[in-house]
């Protein structure tokens, strides 16, 4: 039995955390199942991944507190390292990822959403890093990714105070790109994914690689990364096809991922 359900429709893969009885809390097995789901992705057919949570209440209510309660420092370090490996894998996964945040995204749930490229949420979504109320720090990247997304001052305020953020504020501070009524969230995520997957997939992956790499470099090195990704596109059939189609005034062409 897996706590992560995979469903592929066309070039869009939806991975659903499926542990609703514990509000999709992330334990060791959920992390393993997420990792296994990524192992199973075939980039020849998958061009975008949507992450969401089963049930109407939660995307994920955090790392599993029951599983962490009796850990010592070594087990905690191993758990944190494992979560960080899986989330970093999501962050650097070659194709674009969208978090469709349907309800609570607390602690590890907020951290999972921040590992995705784009966050959309439902009107009832609630974000936060409440770890300090439990006597710990965020352990799956929250101390690092939140400040990169919303700025150091705001991130420190939220992490130090453990204050939660409702959907409208999440939108205002740039933590999410858009907010939808709950029933429209997945259709909206699929619509965005459908738009992404119609573009040249190698070029889209190259954009992601250049942007991710450039985030941690100074501008000159970052622009070198862009040159590398840009020039790499000229080895693809899709670049020839895309440019010829423009010159021939053809619209809605299909890209080959080659
Ligand atoms: N872990 C385990 N079980 C959880 C859970 C969680 N994070 N969140 C909810 N559940 C379980 C509840 O225990 C309950 O189970 P039963 O009692 O039915 O067996 C079930 O889900 C339904 O939850 P509630 O009955 O509490 O539902 P409510 O609607 O009343 O409340 C809530 C929803 C989300 C407000 C509440 O459940 C809540 O406050 N949950 C905890 C939220 C939280 O504090 N999340 C952050 C977790 S800490 C690190 C590695 C990782 C991390 C840190 C360090 N290292 C190793 C260094 C990450 C930490 C976190 O994510």
What is the position in ligand 1's atom list of the atom closest to the CA of 64?
Answer: 1
Q: Are residues 151 and 192 in the same domain?
A: yes
**50: CA distance to ligand 1 center in Å?**
23
Mean pLDDT of 221-226: 98
Residue 46's domain spans which residues? 4-197
**Residue at 74 is within a domain:** yes
> How far, rounded to the nearest angstrom, does the alpha carbon of residue 143 sit from its chain's CA centroid?
16
- The CATH number of the domain holding residue 128 is 3.90.226.10
179 and 228 inside one domain: no
* Pocket of ligand 1 contains residue 128 by CB under 6 Å: no
Strand 126-128, strand 165-166: pairing: antiparallel
Q: Per the domain annotation, does 142 fall within a domain?
A: yes
CB 101 within 8 Å of CB 59: yes
Ligand 1 near 96 CB (within 6 A): no
What confidence tier does 160 reach under pLDDT thresholds 50, 70, 90? very high
Same domain, 211 and 101: no
Looking at the fold, whether 170 and 51 belong to one and the same domain comes out as: yes
How many domains does the chain fold into? 2
> Among 210, 212, 197, 203, which Cα is nearest to 234's?
203
**Claim to verify: residue 143 and residue 172 sit in the same structural domain:** yes
Looking at the structure, tell me whether residues 53 and 150 fall in a common domain. Answer: yes
Helix (H, G, I), strand (E, B), or coil: what is residue 222?
helix
Residue 232 lies in a domain: yes
The reported pLDDT for the residue numbered 36 is 97
Decide if 35 contacts 86 (C-beta within 8 A): yes
Contact criterion met (CB below 8 Å) for 91 and 51: no
The CATH number of residue 226's host domain is: 1.10.12.10
- pLDDT-derived band at 50, boundaries 50, 70, 90: very high
111 catalytic residue (yes or no): yes
Is any ligand 1 atom within 6 A of the Cβ of residue 25?
yes
> Residue 149: CB partners within 8 Å, gap ≥ 6?
114, 155, 174, 175
- 32 and 137 within one domain: yes
Residue 207 Cα to ligand 1 midpoint, Å, equals: 36
Q: Looking at residue 254, what is its pLDDT? A: 93
């Amino acid at each position: 039995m897996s706590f992560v359900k995979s469903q592929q429709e066309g070039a869009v893969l939806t991975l659903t955390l499926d542990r609703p009885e514990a509000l999709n809390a992330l334990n060791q097995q959920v992390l393993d199942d997420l990792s296994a789901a990524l192992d199973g992705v075939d980039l020849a057919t998958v061009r975008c991944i949507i992450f969401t949570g089963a049930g109407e209440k939660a995307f994920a209510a955090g790392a599993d507190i029951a599983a962490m309660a009796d850990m010592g420092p070594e087990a905690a370090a191993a758990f944190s390292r494992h979560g960080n490996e899986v989330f970093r894998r999501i962050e650097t996964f070659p194709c674009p990822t969208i978090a469709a945040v349907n309800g609570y995204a607390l602690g590890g749930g907020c951290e999972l959403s921040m590992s995705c490229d784009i966050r959309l949420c439902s009107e009832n979504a609630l974000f936060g890093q409440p770890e300090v109320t439990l006597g710990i720090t965020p352990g799956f990247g929250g101390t690092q990714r939140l400040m990169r997304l919303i700025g150091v001052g705001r991130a420190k305020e939220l992490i130090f105070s453990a204050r939660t953020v409702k959907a409208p504020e999440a939108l205002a501070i740039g933590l999410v790109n858009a907010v939808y009524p709950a029933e429209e969230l997945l259709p909206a995520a699929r619509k965005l994914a459908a738009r992404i997957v119609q573009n040249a997939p190698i070029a889209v992956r190259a954009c992601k690689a250049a942007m991710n790499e450039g985030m941690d470099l100074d501008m000159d090195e970052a622009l070198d990364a862009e040159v590398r990704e840009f020039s790499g596109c000229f080895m693809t059939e899709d670049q020839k096809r895309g440019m010829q189609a423009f010159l021939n005034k053809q619209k809605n062409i299909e890209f080959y991922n080659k």
